[in-house]
Each structure stands twice: as C-alpha cells, then as structure tokens.
Amino acid sequence: MTITFIGHGYVGLVTACVFADLGNNVFVIGRNHDKIAKLNAGEPLIYEPGLKELLEKNLKAKRLHFTLDYGEAVPKSDVVFIAVGTPPKENGEADLTTVLSVAEEIGRHLKSGYTVVSCKSTVPVGTNTRVKEIIDRVKPQQSKVEVASCPEFLREGTALLDTLNPDRVVIGSDSRKAIDVLLELHKPLNGERIITDLSSAELIKYTSNAMLATKISFANLISFYCEATGADVETVLDAVGLDKRIGRVFMSPGVGYGGSCLPKDIKALKKIGDRLGVDTAFLAAIDNTNIKARENFIGKIIKHSPGKKIAVWGLSFKPNTDDIREAPSTYIITALLKKGFTVSVYDPEALENSRRVFGNKLKYFDNPYETLQGNDALVVITEWNEFKQADLSKVKKLLLHPVIFDARNIYEPANLKELGFHYYSIGRKPV
C-alpha cells in the first residue's frame, strides 16, 4: 500500500520505518524544513535502538519519503495516519489543535478515490468523529473518506520490537471497509486483533496508560508504608507479584512515571471524566502519589547528603531513550538547584536534551566516573544497564563521601554495606 504519516515523533517515525520495511511506500509529513532535511539524510532526530539503521535502509530502498508537502503524499495514499502530539493544556485537557488542523489539511488535499484516515494520536472520545466532520466539510465531492482509530502501544526504548510484535492491534471504526483495509495493512504484524467501535478504541489507549500509571503509583504507595515500618518493598512486591492475578510487571517502586504519555494521559482522562460527570478521585490519587514519590526522594537527598555537590547518573525518563519530557530527573535536579546544590550529570543519550532545558546550570560529563570527582554523593535516577554493573569500588574512591541515593533500587543493600557505603533507596532500610 501507499500510506502517509502526519508527524515524525516517536510514534510516526518508528511506525513509518516499520511499515516501509514491510514493503509499503511510505510518506511522512512534517512542518519543519531542517528536521525534514535531516530525516531525508538518515538522521532520526530521536534516539531509539535500531531506528537509525532501519531509517537508512528504507531511504536507500526508496520506500520512505519525508516531505513538507501534503499534496505530494495525501492524494496517493490508501491510508493516512495522524500521529501528531496532543500536549496537555494548563487545565490538563488534551490540546487537539494540531490534530484538527491536520484533519483539515488532509481533507483539502484528497483526490478522487477511497482513503482511510486513522488516528494514532492519543485523543479523547469523540475526536475521530470530529476529524471526519472536518474532512467531509472541506474535501472534494468525488473523494470518499472513512475514519478509524488505531491507537499505538509502543514503549520508548523498545519501540521497534513493540511495533512488530504488539500484544494487540486495536482497530476501531464504524466502517467494515476501513477495518478490512487496516487489517490487511497490519497482516504482517503479530498480536491479537481487537475490532471495535471508535469510542472504545479511543478509550482503550487511555485505559491502558491509566492502568500502567496505577501500578507504578501503587508500588510507590507501598514503598511509603515500607519506609515507615522497616519492611522491604522489593520482598513485599515480589511476593504479591507471584499471584498470577496481579503480576510484578510495571509494579516497581521508584520516583514515579514520566515521559510523553503517562503524565499527560492521566490528566487528560481525569478531565474527560470531569466533563462526563464521572468521579475521578482515583485518578487524582494516582497523580498525587506520583508527585509524592519524587518529593520523598528529594527530601532524602536534602536530609542525608553530606554536602551540596551532587553527581547524577541518568536523565532520561527511562533507559534506552533520550527523552526527558516529564522525566523525574528534571524535577529532582530543579529542586536541588533551588536548594543551592551544584549538580554534575551523565546520561548515555540524554545530555543534549538536558542542555536545552538547564543550559549552564549543570556540569555535563561524557563519562560516568568523571562525573563523580569532587562531589559529595551520587544520585542514580535512571536504571541504564551500565549503572547496574558499575565498579562501585571505583565509585567510592572518586566520591568525597561514600554516599549513594538510588531511585530505582538497582543495587543490593548488603553489597553496599559491605563496601562501606551509606546507601538510600526506595522502600528499603537505609544502609
């Protein structure tokens, strides 16, 4: 098929590269000349394992095309995916400005024939119906358009694997023909097919992210109990997770969830519930617990640090990405700076993005051990693999004081005790 993606963020770019690799002719429309030029030169703009190689391969095969011109792509396409951002407004509601303006551009550039327009952006219930109304209002009379909701469930850091091997492919539409077109397009991908109506498909994405956020906040809530009682959160959650009805996946204590999805989607789902008259106290509690988790960690550092010079390992909101949007690190570092701390930082991929946020307020290092010299304590925020296997004896020699604050419980307390560290983690007794 010939397909078009509007937007080249994580969702649009990764999915476009995968569908191109499956043999489709794929256009990707952006709105920034420099970014489109870089993408056409094989620079993916974001860090995602394997993405650069897949991008270069399909550019070379001439199956992947980046453009600013709707007229070059939309008229030729069997399917047009909307994959633009839906950032939160100040009140937490999803901002649909870009989605709706893109819908109008799609409508104006359609030609005669049949096209499926499918939304991959995370949008409130009823948005796809609005997209259809906008397109019908501006499209040529001879063109036939039907809409569908086809939400994505990829995880940054494993996005290529998730696109090729999803747990499920959700297709929501009132049109059997549109469903059949999307089923054919997704035929090479694994995963169970969920065929449903537009509203259900739109709500599935929000529900999925809300459940993931719930598990994280629940784990952090239990960590509060453990710190108050001397219990060990890892032991507690391991035992609870052995119940097959519950499981341990995603039920991990730390400093809360971040990234471009969970924080905004919890807030957006709450606003949807408020508008519908649904009691959203549960969602508010999830968000409040997430904030409390990072505040508790900040409090530990302020209370127990032997000095005000801190080294930080890990800036991205999770491993294997350079994304720092809503990352716990940004909140933690900002709070420490306000308290007069000086902060030296290292991250395998996210240094440049952090520079854009903090500028010269931080000291940046390209090597984790160099970050430690002259600092009073180490703070580990993101659980990159290289930190799990760090030479802790070397860490101890380089720090002014043998103190580690571990936001992800990646080290064993008994080992840190044996090495002579003061060690503060989440939901476990300090060493």
Q: In the structure encoding, which two tokens stand for residue 417, read together?
A: 């005790």
pLDDT of residue 405: 98
List C-alpha distances in Å: 2 to 5, 11, 27, 37, 106.
10, 18, 8, 21, 15
User: Architecture of domain 262-424 in CATH?
Assistant: 3-Layer(aba) Sandwich (3.40)
pLDDT of residue 353: 96
Q: Give the containing element (helix H, strand E) for 363.
A: strand 363-364
Spatial neighbors of 429 by CB under 8 A, at least 6 apart, are 230, 232, 413
User: Architecture of domain 2-196 in CATH?
Assistant: 3-Layer(aba) Sandwich (3.40)
Delimit the domains of the chain by residue range. 2-196, 262-424
DSSP assigned state of 30: -
Supply the angle between the helices 281-304 and 328-338 in degrees, to the nearest 10.
50
In tens, the pLDDT along 411-431 reads 999 999 999 999 999 999 999
3-state SS assignment for residue 29: strand
List C-alpha distances in Å: 136 to 104, 106, 112, 132, 315.
9, 10, 13, 6, 45
Would you say the CATH fold of 262-424 matches that of 2-196? Answer: yes
Q: Give the containing element (helix H, strand E) for 66.
A: strand 64-67
Sheet containing 309-313, strands listed edge to edge, beginning at the edge strand earlier in sequence: 363-364, 342-346, 309-313, 377-380, 403-406, 422-424
pLDDT of residue 342: 98
Phi, psi values for residue 163, rounded to 5°: -70, -40
List C-alpha distances in Å: 190 to 111, 115, 146, 166.
33, 24, 25, 6
By annotation, the residues acting in catalysis are: 261
Q: Which residues of the chain have pLDDT under 70?
A: none
pLDDT of residue 112: 83
Alpha-helical segments (H) within 242-280: 262-276
CB count in 10 Å sphere of residue 48: 25
User: Nearest CA to 348 among 313, 378, 380?
Assistant: 313
pLDDT of residue 260: 85
- 1-27: b or e for each residue (b if 16 or more CB lie within 10 Å)? eebbbbbbbbbbbbbbbbbbbbebbbb
Spatial neighbors of 117 by CB under 8 A, at least 6 apart, are 79, 80, 82, 103, 106, 131, 132, 135, 145, 146, 147, 148
